[in-house]
Chain A
Amino acid sequence: MKTINSICIIDDDPITVFGVKKILGKIVEWNEMSSYADGKSAIDGLTSVFINNGKTPDIIFLDINMPIMDGWQFLEEFIKLPITKKVQINVVTSSIDPVDQKKAEDFALMTHHIITFRNKPLRIEEMKEVTKAA
């Protein structure tokens, strides 16, 4: 099985966090797995890890609707970090609003990170795609 170094899940819904982990467990292995329940604790946690160890996740699963700091506000802060690596950011939401999809595309143009808009629920085929690229 392929091993991915570091994976991060940012979602306030424990069921989604459980689901993502479960699907990933079937297709890849990982060295590190972190999860945050809102954008604020995620940006704080990731920034601190990056500054202290220079490490960043390879794949991020990012929910949009979250308390305190939502997915968009997280993205705004995250792309400002001086990370040279291309991080695969999957904007995962139950929203099928085209406005949200457009917003994800706009963010993709503003950064070297790979930003992909994905709808919930995530299926195993999609996950294989995500992990293959990483």
Chain B
Amino acid sequence: MLSEFQVNVNDYLIKQLPTSTAFLNRKLEVLYASDKWYKEFNLSPKNVIGENISILFKAKNPEWEQTLKQCLDGKSGKNGIVSFFDKSNKEKWFEYNNASWYDDQENVIGVIVQTKDITEKIHAEQKLKKLELLLKEKSEIAKIGSWELRIADNKVTWCDITKKIHEVPKNYMPDVDTSINFYKNGFSRNTISMAVFHAINNGTPWNEKLQMITAKGKELWVIAAGKPVYEGEKLVSIIGTFQDITAQVESEMKAKENEHLLTTLVDNLPINIYFKDLESRKVFVNKSECEYLGMPQNKLLGKNDFQLYNKEIAQISRNEDLEVMHNLEPILGMETTNIKKNGEKTTFITSKIPLKGEDGNAYGLVGFSMDITPMKQKEEELRNLINVTSLQNKKLINFAHIVSHNLRSHSANFSMLLDFFVNEENEKEKQNIIGMLVDASDNLLETLDNLNDVVAINTNINLDKKSVNLSKKIDSVQKNLIAFLQGNDAIIENKVPNDINIKVVPAYIESILMNFITNSVKYKDPNRKPIVSLKAKKLENYTLLSISDNGLGIDLNKYGDKLFGMYKTFHNHSDAKGIGLYITKNQIEAMNGYVTTQSEVGKGTTFNIYFNENN
């Protein structure tokens, strides 16, 4: 037995051992242990001293127990690795080294257990295995192969993936030449040869997209990368990767082709196409839009409508944009008018479609505008033509009506009077009827003369227009009417500027002035001195002559449409024959002008006569 002192000394020495060590008696109870041992197993001496070593392990470990027993029999030196779960239930690994414990008489009195925590090492090993597995998996999925060229013996090795890409069997033995010859003759093979040369001689790595042909003749796109590896100053190998990217390249090429197709299409459509961002700035424009705005694409991008069109138009367009982007509802086929900064006006059929982002909000819009200005002009011309035609048709019907009515009314009178004459016996009455027949005949002649005037105006297509000084002409008409004007105590105010000349048929302008002036005086207000005022001004394409009077005035609501009709008079006046204004209107229109009327009963009438300056 050990003495008390010895025990204390042993205890003290063992406590300080630099390795994790425990001393067990023959019953495998812990007698002593180093501090390091306690620490490693996270134990305290109180709970362990005198306890069987097996309490350390939750599970039985037969191999470990076996070695302990062998040590008791004097067979020591058995090593091994054992795992256990510590107090916090973490798996720990340790390497053990058990030896027999002898006393000074060489009797085995217990076992000395030395352990080393190798948990971290075990974990690292597991991690490495995992990484290797992962790498293998990854390279298989990504079709990335690897290879190595060992400089010492020029030996080339390919991994399985590399072999698979080359479509060679697993036992294939590549060398430098065969490796290079897989690349497609020409650019690809030249590039790889130069890359390898530079890597060996200059130490430069490479990464190239190249074409190769597999052992089975398939053409592939690959990314070949290589990198020299040095040990100190000495080049030992070149390692590299090898990736099949045929699918990507092909889809890229397809995408490029599609893009090209789309660009060609968008550019050559005879429609203006543009994309705008939320601020209505142009972010894409096609050729048509560039041509329309007379600016190259790079200048147009980033500009908004306020920089391109006049302010009012730009605001309208911006409001449309906001509406489309806010409501996410497109505007389709709307007729719009654009006025460029230079004043050029264009009519478009416009569609604006919101571009919706993933968050459901608009991030811009795409617009299509088709220029329909020429169509619009044609439409306008056509409409004018229809107006002219329908006007002429109306005139024709009116004229036909007048002719039939007037001539027929005269013939009815003749017929009636002749009937009376034949059956009349009273001589005096017969003379009376003859007198009426003469009147009827005079009326017929006058009517025919008037109708003839109208026909003459309307059939004179090639009118010989001359430049006439309007003010002078008014003066001369005034002279011709002097007796009539004085008789009515009328005043003519000629306010037409001296420099206004108009292109008219001289006979017509005389008739027009005469008719309007006499008309104004005839329908004077009996309580006022008649004043006829004439003014003129130049307008675009027209010269406007206004003839105003202070006469009776006409209720235009009632008689407006009949004012210039033939044989319509509106005043109970013995001179009102209703032919003057009809002829006047025909003359104005024959010179491609027109006439409008303003009138107020009791105040007077203004006739505005527009003389066409162009034609």
Contacts and interface: CB of A to CB of B under 8 A. Distances in A.
**Dominant SS among interface residues on chain B:** helix
A95 B404 contact: yes
A15 B417 contact: yes
Interface of B: 401, 404-405, 408-409, 411-413, 415-417, 419-420, 436, 439-440, 567-572, 576, 578
Nearest to B412: A120
A93 B569 CA distance: 18
28 contacts: A13-B409, A15-B413, A15-B417, A15-B436, A15-B440, A16-B416, A19-B416, A67-B568, A67-B570, A67-B576, A67-B578, A68-B569, A68-B571, A70-B568, A94-B408, A94-B409, A95-B404, A97-B404, A97-B405, A119-B412, A120-B408, A120-B412, A120-B413, A120-B416, A121-B413, A121-B415, A121-B419, A123-B419
A18 to B, nearest CB: 7
A43 to B, nearest CB: 13
Interface in A91-134: 93-97, 119-123
A10 B405 CA distance: 17
A95 B567 contact: no
Interface residues on chain A, size class: 20 to 34
Contacts of B576: 67
A40 interface: yes
Interface string A58-82: 0000000101101000000000000
Nearest to A119: B412
Contacts of A15: 413, 416-417, 436, 439-440
Given A13-B409, A19-B417, A38-B572, 4 more contacts: A16-B416, A95-B405, A121-B412, A121-B419
A84 to B, nearest CB: 29
**Dominant SS among interface residues on chain A:** loop
A65 B404 CA distance: 13
Nearest to A19: B416
Contacts of A67: 568-572, 576, 578
Given A18-B436, A19-B417, A65-B567, A94 B572 contact: no
Interface string A27-45: 0000000000110110000
B365 to A, nearest CB: 56
A122 B404 contact: no
A95 B411 CA distance: 12
A36 to B, nearest CB: 10
A25 to B, nearest CB: 11
Contacts of A95: 401, 404-405, 408
